[in-house]
Amino acid sequence: MNKCLKITFIADLPENFLRDFVQKYAKKHGIEGTVQVAGDDSIRIIACGKKEHVESFLDDIHKGTAEVQFEDLIVEPFLKDRDYRGVFRVIE
């Protein structure tokens, strides 16, 4: 069964965090979607894939960022609005 999540948060992230960390784990778990910095400086991740892979991806993000202080972390279901073509993209 497939699952999509929209994950938003505010955090002071190290340089290249989105490309080096988030994209790495998305690839590891076969996640498709996007990550980008929104206009209000929040980070928005759209993660779609098999339910267990999306949940593992979310766990890895939490574990791997133990030293990062998250603010306003929101994880919510997301209706897939486009075909991500099996790729996870960093939008800059």
Question: Could you give the domains of the chain?
Answer: 2-91 (3.30.70.100)
Structure tokens at 2: 């497939």
Q: What is the pLDDT of residue 33?
A: 96
Q: What is the pLDDT of residue 76?
A: 96
In angstroms, the Cα distances linking 67 to 26, 29, 34, 41, 89 are: 20, 22, 23, 19, 24
**Mean pLDDT (10-residue bins), the chain, 92 residues:** 91 79 93 90 93 94 74 89 89 86
Q: What is the pLDDT of residue 32?
A: 96
Q: What is the pLDDT of residue 36?
A: 92
Q: What is the pLDDT of residue 12?
A: 79
| Cα–Cα distance, 87 to 67 (Å, whole number) | 28
Q: What is the pLDDT of residue 45?
A: 94
